[in-house]
Amino acid sequence: MIRTVVCLLLLFCIHGIKGQWVNDYHDDAVLDCRGNQLLSSIGSIHKNSYEDRLWKFQCRPAPGPVYDCDWTSYLNEFDQVLNFTCPRDYLINGMMSYFDNLYKDRRFLVKCCRVYPRSTTNCHFTAKFVNDWDKEMNFSMLVGECIKGVYSVHDNRKQDRRWKFNICNLV
């Protein structure tokens, strides 16, 4: 009996880490790496009939204990730019959003954390947007990299967002 429960829990945990969709269209989305895990990839697809995106993510083991995590307040208004960077030596380890049907947009907040005894260096935003309007987004970081910040713009004609990420080395 205990072995069955442990196996089911393990399958559930692995299923979440594999990057399954975490929301339905128009529903809240929660991407949250827990324990000593780090965000390693973010994926999303847009569907015009809903004018919304599905979200998925993957986590990987952190090179040290993850601690001092805090969720921000909402970082953007509907139809407005989102531009946020976590404080010094903090990284983004989660993201939540909710959808509003009137605006056909989402408001976002992120979770900033530290990894002991690491610091963030050589930070830079992606040169280009990592997705195009109404297109799929698949963004992954190399081992040793983390997301420190996000930049996103919304287009009312396309009813979609494009994204850039502030990537750092974690040393």
**Does any domain span residue 157?**
yes
Is the pLDDT reported for residue 13 higher than 80?
no
**Does any domain span residue 49?**
yes
**Does any domain span residue 100?**
yes
**Does any domain span residue 12?**
no
pLDDT recorded at residue 81: 99
Residue range(s) defining the domain that contains residue 83: 17-170
Global confidence as pTM:
0.87
Query: Average pLDDT in the 28-40 region?
Result: 96
**Does any domain span residue 75?**
yes
Is the pLDDT reported for residue 70 higher than 90?
yes
**Does any domain span residue 152?**
yes
**Does any domain span residue 2?**
no
Query: Average pLDDT in the 156-165 region?
Result: 98
HSE-CB of 45 using CA atoms within 13 angstroms: 9
| Calpha distance 132→126 (Å, rounded) | 14
C-alpha 5: how far from chain center = 30
Contacts of 64 (CB under 8 A, 6+ apart): 36, 115, 116, 117, 118
**Does any domain span residue 129?**
yes
* Biggest CA-to-CA distance, the chain: 55
pLDDT recorded at residue 10: 36
pLDDT recorded at residue 1: 46
Domain count, the chain: 1
